[in-house]
Amino acid sequence: MPVKAGSKAGKEKADKENVHNRIAVLRAERGVSRRELATALGVHYQTIGYLERGEYSPSLHLALRIAGFFEVPVEVVFSLEPFPRLGST
């Protein structure tokens, strides 16, 4: 279930169920603005920002649509483990 970080309990839950993503990196790489991505996915542009900040974990449906938009497998965009920093081995 999507988790919205807001209250203390919400933050603790979000920390436990945190899903890391590379939306910001992919977006920058493809030169897509938040609003363009939001329009393509049919969501509010602020939702893209909350996703990028890790304050909202998307439903499976939205996650698959984001991966579909960037034409990459879903595990390229989302991971339960933090993504390695660029340049790290």
What does the binding site for other proteins look like in residue numbers (CB under 8 A)? 2, 4-7, 33-35, 42-47, 49-50, 52-53, 55-56, 58-59, 61-62
Q: How far is the CB of 87 from other proteins (least distance, A)?
A: 23
- Using the minimum distance from each CB to other proteins, give the nearer residue, 7 or 88: 7
Supply the DSSP string of 3-25, one letter for each residue: -B--SHHHHHHHHHT--EE-HHH
- Using the minimum distance from each CB to other proteins, give the nearer residue, 7 or 89: 7
Q: How many CA atoms lie within 13 A of 51 on its CB side?
A: 26
